[in-house]
């Protein structure tokens, strides 16, 4: 089955929830209204459906290969990446002064979803380049920007993030790679980095590695980490490529999913030291790397939505085609397509509701990012920055966890055929699993949500969001339709549960950290569930208005049903999650260690 980009749903969110026309009034975005969004999304759909989608299954069956230090990507990937770069897709959201198109994240996010739905393994290469570009824009010297940004933004070169080492997974305090200052202001970098996505490949002329390492004599722990640009090939003063730098791929991993994406082990400095250039100031590397991480974490959340959409499309088509058993209500006297069975509809509705809700949540978060960076009013920028920062761990954590449930349901809808690789449903399940792990596991997102986003300001940010949700409840009650009133009731119950948990987290993190962190992931899941459900509630109100005007009746009617389903079947879980966090923490930590 081929992928069909959900352009109509994306544009609904961009227009009505993210309010693109307001974004288009901000300095720098004057040409980025709904018309532009539609044109860009339709063009992106053509590219992803026509070029990347046909390579997805092939990449799973015939992944990247490694021989004699050289990585060869799946047949077709190199040409597809050339077309991706030539089409300007790498530079979509990046500044025009470096050759980008400077479009809002609100539009770019939808394009990121499409490329990941079409071919997640391929999409990881531009995803990492985006992170490298963000870090250089923020902290790179004028010289580094002049040397690298144009080529990265154009897609002529690609970028990587080098954090993890064999002894240092998520614990970056244990990073041991070292950097020795040189008389000319450069550094010699030594060390081993693992899990480096597209750390070596044949799709671009140069690879720009952003590497965490310790300058000799730096403090121990996270305070002594610096960030360096280490190119695969040195760059001459005229911009041409020079000699090969002392960074080499020694192997690539054999993985459960995203098989076409080469995950490299890189060795720095085996032949005298890899030449690196400091990004920003010494010992502030982690601060700069978090700029990359935040960009990448949001993008990984989009990957979750993307793979869920792909799994839903495949399952829905299979359910319409697969004939098994008579419907339980006797409406058809012979065996019928399985979509007639209530439980199959329940699975498909769960898949659809999760995907649409998370897409809406991510679209609204992207709009907040755009306002945080471009709105002329400083107070509005600050409010939107707080909202976006709160949303990043939810977009990443909740959307990726939901993608596991959705892709698993996708296999289930296929029955035994789903367990057979040729069907294709299993690939989405396998590909989805990494999303809850890389760029910070769900527990790390939850730690961020508890520590930086909730406890630090006494829960002010989430409580301010809860007040906005309460306004939506009032709008639903005022609307008065049966669906709106029912959704309002579920939304209120979820909001009250959320506020209880926020108070619990804010009040106990310092004094009783184990008590709070025992429920940190459930808190993230409750918050994500509420934020996603809130956006579908807003969607319901828009859809009812559009329906009353006779606009796009089938789409709007389906949007109302999806919002009602989400409220009844998914948002309704929130009070129980609240109980497990606020009242169930003791049973998490009570077991003696030797009893495990």
Residues marked active site are found at 439
In angstroms, the CA 163 to CA 520 distance is: 24
In angstroms, the CA 452 to CA 384 distance is: 16
Q: Name the region of 405 (left: φ>0; alpha: ψ -120 to 50; beta: rest).
A: alpha
Sign of CA dihedral 382, 462, 443, 174: positive
3-state SS assignment for residue 237: coil
In angstroms, the CA 179 to CA 386 distance is: 35
In angstroms, the CA 504 to CA 374 distance is: 35
Both tokens assigned to 338: 């399985």
DSSP of 270-297: TTS-EEEEE-SSTT-HHHHHHHHHHHHH
Is 430:411 a contact under the CB 8 Å cutoff?
A: no
Place of tokens 């669906």: 483
| Residue 511 burial (CB count, 10 A) | 8
Rounded to 5 degrees, φ, ψ at 241 are: -85, 140
| Residue 464 burial (CB count, 10 A) | 14
Q: Where are the alpha helices (DSSP H) in 415-481?
A: 425-433, 442-450, 460-479
Rounded to 5 degrees, φ, ψ at 209 are: -85, 130
Angle between the N-to-C axes of helices 482-508 and 553-569, in degrees from 0 to 180, rounded to the nearest 10: 40
Cα 48 to chain centroid, rounded: 18
Place of tokens 């995203």: 258
Place of tokens 């980095």: 193
Give me the half-sphere count of Cα atoms (radius 13 Å) on the Cβ side of residue 154.
Answer: 14
């Amino acid at each position: 089955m081929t992928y069909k980009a959900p352009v109509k749903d994306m544009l609904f969110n961009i227009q009505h929830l993210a309010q693109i026309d307001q974004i288009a009034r901000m300095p720098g975005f004057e040409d980025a209204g709904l018309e532009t969004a539609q044109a860009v999304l339709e063009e992106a759909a053509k590219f992803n459906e026509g070029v990347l989608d046909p390579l997805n299954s092939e990449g799973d069956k015939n992944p990247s290969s490694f021989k004699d230090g050289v990585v060869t990507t799946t047949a077709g990937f190199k040409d597809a990446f050339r077309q991706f770069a030539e089409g300007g897709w790498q530079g979509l959201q990046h500044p025009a002064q470096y050759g980008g198109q400077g479009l809002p994240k609100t539009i770019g996010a939808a394009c990121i979803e499409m490329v990941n739905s079409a071919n997640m393994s391929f999409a990881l290469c531009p995803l990492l380049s985006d992170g490298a570009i963000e870090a250089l824009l923020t902290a790179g010297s004028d010289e580094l920007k002049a040397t690298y940004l144009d080529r990265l933004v154009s897609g002529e070169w690609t970028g990587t993030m080098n954090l993890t080492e064999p002894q240092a997974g998520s614990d970056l305090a244990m990073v041991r790679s070292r950097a020795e200052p040189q008389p000319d202001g450069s550094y010699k970098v030594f060390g081993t980095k693992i899990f480096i996505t597209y750390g070596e490949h044949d799709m671009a002329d140069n690879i720009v590695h952003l590497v965490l390492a310790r300058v000799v004599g730096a403090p121990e722990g996270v305070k002594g980490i610096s960030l360096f640009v280490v190119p695969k090939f040195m760059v001459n003063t005229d911009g041409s490529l020079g000699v090969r730098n002392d960074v080499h791929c020694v192997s690539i991993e054999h993985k459960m999913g995203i098989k076409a994406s080469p995950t490299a082990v890189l060795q720095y400095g085996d032949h005298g030291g890899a030449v690196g250039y400091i990004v920003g100031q010494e010992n502030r590397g982690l601060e700069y790397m978090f700029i990359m991480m935040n960009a990448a974490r949001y993008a990984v959340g989009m990957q979750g939505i993307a793979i869920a959409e792909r799994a839903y499309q495949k399952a829905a088509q299979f359910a319409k085609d697969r004939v098994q058993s008579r419907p339980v209500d006797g409406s058809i006297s012979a065996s019928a397509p399985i979509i007639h069975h209530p439980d199959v509809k329940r699975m498909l509705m769960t898949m659809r509701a999760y995907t649409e809700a998370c897409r809406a949540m991510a679209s609204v978060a992207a709009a907040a990012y755009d306002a945080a960076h471009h709105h002329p009013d400083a107070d509005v920028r600050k409010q939107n920055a707080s909202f976006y920062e709160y949303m990043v761990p939810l977009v990443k954590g909740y959307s990726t966890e939901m993608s596991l449930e959705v892709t698993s349901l996708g296999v289930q809808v296929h029955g035994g055929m789903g367990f057979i690789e040729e069907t294709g449903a299993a690939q989405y399940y396998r590909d989805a699993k990494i999303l809850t792990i890389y760029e910070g596991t769900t527990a790390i997102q939850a730690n961020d949500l508890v520590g930086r986003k909730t406890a630090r300001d006494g829960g002010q940010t989430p409580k301010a969001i809860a007040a906005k949700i309460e306004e939506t409840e009032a709008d639903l009650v005022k609307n008065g339709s049966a669906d709106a009133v029912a959704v309002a009731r579920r939304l209120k119950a979820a909001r009250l549960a959320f506020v209880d948990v926020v108070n619990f987290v804010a009040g106990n993190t310092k004094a009783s950290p184990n008590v709070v962190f025992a429920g940190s992931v459930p808190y993230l899941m409750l918050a994500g569930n509420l934020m996603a459900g809130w956006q579908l509630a807003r969607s319901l109100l828009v859809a009812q208005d559009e329906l009353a005007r006779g606009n796009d009746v089938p789409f709007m009617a389906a949007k109302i049903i999806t919002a009602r389903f989400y409220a009844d079947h998914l948002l309704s879980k929130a009070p129980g999650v609240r109980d497990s966090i606020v009242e169930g923490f003791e049973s998490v930590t009570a077991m003696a260690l030797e009893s495990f």
